[in-house]
Structure 1
């Protein structure tokens, strides 16, 4: 087509790779297109939750600065009503974040391949030039990317919010799921394992609804087992005293943020007696006589210091990621022959 004024051919701006916006292509585009509703829902919910955490953290820090923090300790604020509302905010948000592995396992992991197997899409893909391994790798890789980005952002945001009050047990005990499971690498590893487990369940059952139901049970069991073994990831520290057990300040002082596991009476021979020893004594004098007869000389207290939290999280996450890698390898082995 020529220019009507000059008679010269009209030219168009050259199109080069440098001026093009990056776009998804091939199998990656197809997988994103197929699951874009779930992926955008996850990313959108992440942004909303991030905004809420930033707002809550800003409000809390303003309150603490008004009180005189960090020059003044916040221990005296534990019983105040105003500080209590911030503690309640921690509890509500942490509850929501702890169910993320379950939700993503059920609504993202379970239908990922089960839907394709149920509707016959898997057979259609297998008939194309794309190999089964590439299709499976793209499905898992893109899903893992979205899950990882979401959980990393929320983990970092919650840790940033919790950090000023992490030594305050009234806000959240660091060994519980309200802090340990939603900070650091744990939420990423726990969610990836649950999601990949849901994918594997979907491949075996080949029915979306059945896979979602079974994945829900699987995710709940994972949470329960993880909670049961969580404390075993650390090295228990024992502190003893020899000042008796009835005098003032006889009980050992634990470090800030320490989680007490057990306490026992310590005898002169080094044996341990349950703290309920002599509890049936009718008077304080009778109790002291009973303890003296049992040769009780002090306390023995087992605890986990908060300084072990990061190491415990990485150790536990390594175990979960290893399990995730094992399930992924099994999926690829299964997918070479039985995926369609």
Structure 2
């Protein structure tokens, strides 16, 4: 009787390879993971380390506040020694503000430019995988990793900041607008796709990184200039005069003053610049007479309330995600015909 033999081809069923993460990946997903595994593992490590550091520092801060007697707190709400903890929180928030720069320059720009330089793009698209599918996976896998990482870090920062926001000069909501909530995720995805588009067009990794850096800096400048316009500016005013003893209007808690400062309010509801009658200051009587001739009855101040923060963040994130989708569509449509 002929002994039974085992055919390796029959006993090892074909299927997608199991990745280092314990997932079954195949085709372009497996290729993208293998190509950029160093960057992905670095991203995961930085995310875990950063999250643990923020959780630890938050725990220290909350323990310190819990140990303080209520009578030892300042009128502003926190002990003077708290500034050291506030400084750490502000510094970490500032560091997270560099995520969009890193996403665009070090993850987005080399993504396709490196493949075009090395010939990997030509090899990958010469197989059974279409260019559209390859480009889609090439964008989607790093974007998913970037989204998860950024969301985790910003969620930890938001949780750390929420209990003390506005209770210190360095912790006002405008200082954390772009590094908390949904804004950082949308911002990082925008700079990432811009970097990918630049790399695809320039086809050289180093050049693409330099150009992307310049574009990302320009995007950051524009964002810093326009994000306040996403809110609805409100006003607070008085009608008790502006002479001696008159008290200017008080802004709501955590509100940020807008515009040039305090305006003069007239009886007709118009507002005059604070420099009105500035040339009539040779005497209090002359200055008062000038203001009276302009029918000034009080002060008016414009401000943005903290209550609008989340609405402004979602609106800004929506705009950035719309631009991100447009850039991603451009990358796929352009690459479908002109990639190689």
The bucket for the TM-score relative to the shorter chain is 0.7 to 0.9
Which structure 1 segments of 5+ residues have no match? 1-8
Matches within 5 A, 1:188-203: 188-203=185-200
Which stretch of the first structure deviates more once superposed, 268-277 or 132-141?
268-277
* CA distance in 2: counterparts of 1:113 and 1:196, whole angstroms: 11
Counterpart in the other structure of 1:320? 320
TM-score (norm 2): 0.88
How far residue 55 of structure 1 moved from its aligned partner, in angstroms, is 1.5
What's the counterpart of residue 272 of structure 1?
A: 271
Change (3 A) 1:26 1:94: same
When structure 1 is superposed on structure 2, of 125-134 and 180-189 the one drifting more is 125-134
Per-residue deviation, residues 220-251 of structure 1 (Å, max 9, x unmatched): 01101111111110111122210112354621
- 1:3 match: none
Report the alpha carbon displacement of residue 293 of structure 1 after superposing the two structures with TM. Answer: 3.5
Please report how far the alpha carbon of residue 48 of structure 1 lies from its aligned counterpart in structure 2 after TM superposition: 1.3
Deviation of residue 179 (structure 1)? 0.4
Alignment of 1:1-340 (within 5 A): 21-68=22-69, 75-77=76-78, 80=80, 82-175=81-174, 178-248=175-245, 250-262=247-259, 263-279=262-278, 281-282=281-282, 284=284, 286-340=286-340
Q: 1:154 to 1:68 in 2, by over 3 A?
A: farther
CA RMSD of aligned residues (A): 2.5
TM-superposed CA distance for 1:294, in Å, is 2.9
The alignment of Structure 1 onto Structure 2 pairs a total of residues equal to 322
Shift of 1:187: 0.2
Contact 2:236 2:300 in 1 (8 A): yes
Inter-partner Cα distance in structure 2 for 1:245 and 1:324: 50
**Contact 1:158 1:183 survives alignment (8 Å):** yes
Aligned mates of 1:208, 1:173 — CA distance in 2? 39
Q: Deviations over 1:132-151 (max 9, x none)?
A: 11111111111111100011
C-alpha deviation, 1:74, in angstroms: 6.8
Query: Runs of 5+ in structure 2 lacking a partner?
Result: 6-10
Structure 1: how far apart are the matches of 2:243 and 2:65? 37
Give SS of 1:122's match: helix
**1:89 and 1:286 mapped to 2: Cα distance?**
51
Please give the alpha-carbon distance, in whole angstroms, between the structure 2 residues aligned to 1:105 and 1:242: 51
Separation in structure 1 between the aligned mates of residue 246 and residue 78 of structure 2, nearest angstrom:
23
